[in-house]
Amino acid sequence: MSPKMPRRRAFATRFVAALGVLAVGTAAVACSSEEVAEEASQPSVVSGEWPRTVDTADGPITLDAPPERIVSTSVTLTGSLLALDAPLIGTGAQPTSNTTDEQGRFSQWADAADERGVETLYQGEPNIERITAAAPDLIVVSAGGADSAKERYDVLSQIAPTLVFDYTDKSWQEMTTALAAAVGAEERAEELISEFDTKVDEARAAIAPALSDSSEVNILTYNSPQDSRIFTAVSAQGQLAERLGLTTAALPDDIANADKGVMAGRADVVPVGVENLSRALPGAITFVISAEHPAAGAMRADPLLAEIPSVRTGKVYALGYDSFRLDYYSANNVVDRIVDALA
């Protein structure tokens, strides 16, 4: 990470009407540097020319100046912003689970957020009051996934310019590059990706001997007896596997094209019921994401999966709780675990 540098600036707080029964306020309040100033420990990352136009999931948006106070409503995108040394001041969080800390922050970047003094503004549904009070000059939103706040775009965009990004069909490198263009951190993005490319090349060479029989893998969250979720070749996890010399196993047509329910419209994840799970796992190797070793053991012991190739050979491996959403931090962790499993 780059050295931390204090930044002092004045900001304007705009109050917007909150949806529901509570009114947040009716007017913008301008504050001079003598009235309100705030210390923030943020690295300096800005490069390139401004104004600039940023490509988003909702089309191009022009930003007049480099952002200095960013709020992320997406725990998935927060990790990439932190890795970019972006001036992130606040983030949304999820309900506490195995993949998060007690504040609902993804475990792979929680320490980095603490070091930067990034405030957790809410858990679960976006808190418009707290986002407004943070006085951001840029808000980052995910277009899909459980951490999406896109339905609140109209309100959020009244607080600050709001950029919507779709991470569901992109690698973390693609998302990091897109976010870097929005915050002026292109050079930092190139550094992160170059470091990771070297790591992947070394990992691919290390595991190659273990792939002599087959490189076909299954990637899933194992939730028996509830629906499990198969991660496809277009998912971030699938794309990473391909770069490591692995091939994501194809699903039978009837499973791939079945009604996805709440996953409708997503190509990266396919929900599969327990009655079809054995047919959905033809690969010689299985990676269980969002899980530790006991979950892999439970899958190997599942009598309904006793005849799938990876269970028969014992090649079922857990990739850790932080493997569910990939960013710079968790992707590095996942590569290490795959090497540990196969090399």
> Which residues in the chain show pLDDT less than 70?
1-47
Q: Which region, left, alpha or beta, applies to residue 249 given φ > 0 means left and ψ of -120 to 50 means alpha?
A: beta
Identify whether 193 is part of a domain: no
Q: Name the DSSP letter for residue 13.
A: E
Query: 237 and 169 share a domain?
Result: no
Query: 12 and 126 share a domain?
Result: yes
- Whether residue 256 contacts residue 276, with contact meaning beta carbons closer than 8 Å, is answered with no
Identify whether 197 is part of a domain: no
Query: 141 and 240 share a domain?
Result: no
Query: 167 and 244 share a domain?
Result: no
Give the pLDDT score at 276.
94
Give the pLDDT score at 156.
98
- Whether residue 172 contacts residue 180, with contact meaning beta carbons closer than 8 Å, is answered with no
Structural domain of residue 312, as residue ranges?
A: 209-342
Q: Which residues in 74-85 are b (16+ Cβ under 10 Å) and which e? A: bbbbbbbbbbbb
Identify whether 29 is part of a domain: yes
For residue 209, cis peptide bond before it (omega within 30 degrees of 0): no
Name which of 229, 213, 209, 211 is nearest 221 in CA terms. Answer: 229
Task: Name the domain count of the chain.
Answer: 2
Give the pLDDT score at 38.
43
Give the pLDDT score at 47.
54
Query: 177 and 250 share a domain?
Result: no
Identify whether 273 is part of a domain: yes
Query: 126 and 243 share a domain?
Result: no
Query: 233 and 298 share a domain?
Result: yes
Query: 213 and 338 share a domain?
Result: yes
Query: 86 and 37 share a domain?
Result: yes
Give the pLDDT score at 18.
38
Identify whether 260 is part of a domain: yes
Query: 216 and 175 share a domain?
Result: no
